[in-house]
Amino acid sequence: MNANPTPQDRSAGPVTGWWTEAAIYQIYPRSFADSDGDGIGDLPGITARLDHLVELGVDALWLSPFYPSPQADAGYDVADYRDVDPIFGTLADADKLIAGARSRGLRVIVDLVPNHTSSAHRWFTAALAAGAGSPERDRYIFRDGLGPAGDRPPNDWQSVFGGPAWTRVTDADGRPGQWYLHLFDSGQPDLNWDNPQVREEFLDVLRFWLDRGVDGFRVDVAHGLIKQADLADWREPQEILSGNEIDKPRPPMWDQDGVHEIYRDWRRVLDSYDGERILVAEAWVEPAERLARYVRPDEMHQAFNFEYLLASWTAPAQYAVITRSLEATDAVGAPTTWVLSNHDVVRHASRLGLPVGGGRPNGIGIGDPQPDAALGLRRARAATLLMLALPGSAYLYQGEELGLPEHTTMPDEARQDPTWARSGHTQRGRDGCRVPIPWEADAPSYGFGPTDARWLPQPPLWAEYALDRQRGVPGSTYELYRTALRLRREHGLGRGTLQWRESGDEVLSFRNGGLTVLTNFGDAAVPVPAGAEVVAASATLTDDGRVPTDVTVWVRG
């Protein structure tokens, strides 16, 4: 459990490369821009909007999955890893997008989903047809059921989306057969990573996309690929977060040591290509020392810092998580990767408007306690300005540059996330952060597409957040992001060094890249450092130039 660096780690020296300090923008293709008016965003829609990303000032984009898929989990159920789903376009459209990004100096990261395939993948169809004990079934995790009739699941694991993590199949003769494991939806059977064919296949998939020019991969559920060999019962509700504090046993399905060997193999493939191609882990692993093992020198380049995303909005909590994160990644010679929002969590403009210290809801609906929208946005802007001043790479999620809130009043009948049905309608799920983006206040679907069609409803007041209402408007969230990203680049903040300043329990303050950064979490306004020039502020200062509650400033001098 100890992540002390080996002598080898220490001698690795400071890591350099575009990704160590990049601002990377996550595109959720279904909801970014729809070119053909079918209500679902697509690759040509993204290509047509690339100039937005240049104007915003990010370095790279990460695309959530666009591969052929029955869409049981919005494309995280992949039926073919080497093609594009017709709803998103064609392989030629993917090539155009990659080329369009490259010509603008933007890097492209694609999503890789190795923990499970879709149940529509040819391998799974073959596994069903081939029957128990076959080599085809060995690519997945099939087991006989318990009890004389085999009618009880092989163990007590629960799906992350709710309900049992096992589904029983029907054999060719119509009789009930074996069970297969799916940590997520039943349409997402888990692969068996002890099978050499599975390993070979993904090495080949990596090469397929590297050959097409991508700069890296975001690795879905990177902590899940290897399961404890005995598939022992766990007896705890299944969460995607491994939650393995040092003194607690590690869940048998998450963060098993065997995953690291897989990433070392992948790293060798990436390193055999020119340019600096990267791997970023989606691994819900705590504590930070355990997560840092994914970014040791011969493994992945980055791992999303979800402990940071989950931290409370108080000065001590933020200080602690930032310090811990930097120490843990320093110990393995890696930079840190910050993130506040993505397609799986309540948007931070709403999350931070919930009572401090409150639980982390899996979606919010009508009838639930509603976030305070103004407070949430104020804190979200302060949080982003704080994050963008930290050394390391930062991930942004589409729409946060507009200050978009979660859709917290979506009609339940519109929900698409399998979580809603699988949890027996107890968890609303993630649709509220996946709503199509508003580009133009007065256009159909707010400019998302040429028609009124959209796969999820947009909330009331979406016009207020539209890009065309914010562009060029001083003080808008969009202009705040642009300013911050420009200054971050000019001052080399991403590759800088953080030095804390003494500031008490209600204020967080540090220096980086010649700037002083200060966030006020307390009730009373505080002065900016004497003689300094404010270069960015997440909200207006008081008339006498002090920093009010829930505001971050960057000052020079």
Work out whether 124 is an interface residue with ligand GLC (CB under 6 A): no
Angle (nearest 5°) at CA 477 between 476 and 481: 120
Report the 3 state secondary structure along 144-212. CCECCCCCECCCCCECCCCCECEEEEECCCCCEEEEEECCCCCCCCEECCCCHHHHHHHHHHHHHHHHC
* Comparison of 28 and 313: residue with beta carbon closer to ligand GLC: 28
Strands 60-63 and 23-27: parallel
Which of ligand GLC, Mg ion, none does residue 36 bind to, with CB < 5 to 8 Å depending on kind? Mg ion
Q: How is 218-281 classified by DSSP, letter by letter?
A: EETTTT-SS--TT-----S---SS----TTSPPPTTSS-TTHHHHHHHHHHHHHTSSS--EEEE
Whether 289 is catalytic: no
Indicate which residue of 34, 73, 220, 286 is catalytic.
220
- Name the strand (E) or helix (H) holding 516: strand 515-520
**Least distance to ligand GLC, CB of residue 342, Å:** 7
**Least distance to Mg ion, CB of residue 66, Å:** 11
Work out whether 73 is an interface residue with ligand GLC (CB under 6 A): yes
Q: Can you tell me the distance from the alpha carbon of 393 to that of 62, in angstroms, rounded to the nearest whole number?
A: 13
User: Facing residues of 510 across strands?
Assistant: 500, 517
Which of Mg ion, ligand GLC, none does residue 76 bind to, with CB < 5 to 8 Å depending on kind? ligand GLC
Q: 527: which DSSP letter?
A: P
**Least distance to Mg ion, CB of residue 36, Å:** 4
> Would you give the binding string for ligand GLC spanning residues 29-68, x where CB under 6 A is met?
----------------------------------------
**Least distance to ligand GLC, CB of residue 183, Å:** 8
* Comparison of 117 and 329: residue with beta carbon closer to ligand GLC: 117
Work out whether 113 is an interface residue with ligand GLC (CB under 6 A): yes
Scanning residues 30 to 69, which ones bind Mg ion (CB under 5 A)?
Answer: 34, 36, 38, 40, 42
Only segment of 26-34, 351-359, 397-405, 509-517 that touches Mg ion (CB under 5 A)? 26-34
Count of CA atoms in the C-beta half-sphere (13 A) of 220: 24
Scanning residues 246 to 265, which ones bind ligand GLC (CB under 6 A)?
Answer: none
**Least distance to ligand GLC, CB of residue 372, Å:** 27
Scanning residues 175 to 194, which ones bind ligand GLC (CB under 6 A)?
Answer: 184
Distances (CA, A) of 450 to 200, 407, 457, 541: 43, 22, 15, 40
Tell me the two tokens of residue 353.
């408007």
Give the residue at shortest CB distance from Mg ion. Answer: 42
* Comparison of 38 and 506: residue with beta carbon closer to Mg ion: 38
Indicate which residue of 21, 190, 282, 299 is catalytic.
282
**Least distance to ligand GLC, CB of residue 400, Å:** 16
**Least distance to Mg ion, CB of residue 436, Å:** 10
- Name the strand (E) or helix (H) holding 387: helix 373-387
334: closest CA among 369, 293, 282? 293
Which of ligand GLC, Mg ion, none does residue 58 bind to, with CB < 5 to 8 Å depending on kind? none
Tell me the two tokens of residue 16.
């350099």
Tell me the two tokens of residue 364.
């919010």
Q: In what order do the strands lie in the sheet with 551-556?
A: 499-500, 507-512, 515-520, 551-556, 533-537
**Least distance to ligand GLC, CB of residue 262, Å:** 17
Which of ligand GLC, Mg ion, none does residue 113 bind to, with CB < 5 to 8 Å depending on kind? ligand GLC
Sign of CA dihedral 9, 277, 83, 88: positive
Total number of residues that touch ligand GLC (CB under 6 A): 10
Q: Is there a contact between 513 and 496 (Cβ–Cβ < 8 Å)?
A: yes
* Comparison of 393 and 476: residue with beta carbon closer to ligand GLC: 393
Burial class (CB in 10 A: 0-12, 13-18, 19+), 474: exposed
Near ligand GLC by CB under 6 A: residue from 221, 281, 385, 437: 221
Q: Is there a contact between 74 and 84 (Cβ–Cβ < 8 Å)?
A: no
Whether 282 is catalytic: yes
Near ligand GLC by CB under 6 A: residue from 19, 66, 76, 304: 76
Residues lying near ligand GLC in the complex (CB under 6 A) are found at 73, 76, 113, 184, 220-221, 240, 282, 343-344
Residues lying near Mg ion in the complex (CB under 5 A) are found at 34, 36, 38, 40, 42
**Which residues are catalytic, by number?**
220, 282
